[in-house]
Amino acid sequence: MNVSHISGNFIFDMDEVLVNISPEMYRTIRMNWRKYHRWFKDLGSLTDKEILARPNFDIVEWLLKDEIRKLPTEALNKAKGQIWASLVSDYFNTDLYLLLQPTEFAKKTIMNKAFIEHIRVNRIYILTRYVTNEMLESKKKFVKKFFNHPKVELVPVKRGEKKSEILKQKNIKWNLFVDDEIKNIADFAENLDLSGKEILVPSTGYNEMPVALDILIKEKGGVYNYYEE
């Protein structure tokens, strides 16, 4: 990543930016298929690239069978509750980052001495959401292992919290924001000043920029660009 035109504080999401976790989540579902087959479509063995190219950010929504989706609201909510409880047990309550490796983006930026120690890079905040305390502890170990640098700070975000609110609470100033989720980008665009700011988005199957959000970002003086892994 060229920092010649950017300086200041950088906000990096972690999941699907610095490390891809959804392929491991899919593999966990496949390894426990006898449990999940009643709810999910059988897409078989998929590559990491195919999983990241999925059309839905939410893996549950992507895999959900049509007959489950068409259930009455109460039955659908019950099924989703059972799915969630299973995923928490099988995936989120494990040391899920233990065997994962950083993305190419991470290797070119936060792990690259020429980048991280560049005079234009003041600080990097890893603004990342977590579901359970076990997931957060696993994130901390991963950050310490791969991104251990005085300029790097992990900023956890609870499920349901807005990332923009965390920045306001901690009075974090930023110049560049990198995130894969359209919901988080919309949160920044709607609630923060974008004048002179840049947003980077990894190119996946689920995060095409909506027209209204494209217009809002530009109206507020920001720019966004996609990058390929």
Q: What is the pLDDT of residues 22-41, one digit of tens each?
A: 999 999 999 999 999 999 99
Q: Please indicate, yes or no, whether residues 49 and 84 belong to a single structural domain of this protein.
A: yes
Mean pLDDT, the chain, whole residue set? 95
Q: Is residue 191 part of a domain?
A: yes
Strand, helix or coil for residue 93: coil
Q: Please indicate, yes or no, whether residues 114 and 206 belong to a single structural domain of this protein.
A: yes
Among 73, 92, 111, the domain boundary falls at 92
Among 39, 74, 92, the domain boundary falls at 92
The confidence band for 6, taking pLDDT boundaries of 50, 70 and 90, is: confident
The confidence band for 127, taking pLDDT boundaries of 50, 70 and 90, is: very high
Q: Please indicate, yes or no, whether residues 166 and 110 belong to a single structural domain of this protein.
A: yes
Among 92, 127, 149, the domain boundary falls at 92
Q: Is residue 139 part of a domain?
A: yes
- Percent above pLDDT 90 for the chain: 97
Residue 3 has a pLDDT of 54
Domain count, the chain: 2
- Percent above pLDDT 70 for the chain: 98
Q: Please indicate, yes or no, whether residues 168 and 222 belong to a single structural domain of this protein.
A: yes
Cβ pair 178, 11 in contact under 8 A: yes
**CA 147 – CA 221 distance, rounded (Å):** 31
Q: Is residue 63 part of a domain?
A: yes
Q: Please indicate, yes or no, whether residues 163 and 219 belong to a single structural domain of this protein.
A: yes
Range of the domain at 78: 22-92
Residue 1 has a pLDDT of 55
The confidence band for 5, taking pLDDT boundaries of 50, 70 and 90, is: low
Q: Is residue 1 part of a domain?
A: no
**CA 15 – CA 20 distance, rounded (Å):** 6
Q: Is residue 2 part of a domain?
A: no
Q: Please indicate, yes or no, whether residues 211 and 134 belong to a single structural domain of this protein.
A: yes
Q: Please indicate, yes or no, whether residues 205 and 111 belong to a single structural domain of this protein.
A: yes
Residue 2 has a pLDDT of 55
DSSP 88: I
Q: Please indicate, yes or no, whether residues 146 and 185 belong to a single structural domain of this protein.
A: yes
Q: Please indicate, yes or no, whether residues 26 and 79 belong to a single structural domain of this protein.
A: yes
Interior/surface letters 191-201, b for 16+ CB within 10 angstroms, e for the rest:
ebebeebbbbb
Q: Please indicate, yes or no, whether residues 16 and 48 belong to a single structural domain of this protein.
A: no
Q: Please indicate, yes or no, whether residues 109 and 217 belong to a single structural domain of this protein.
A: yes
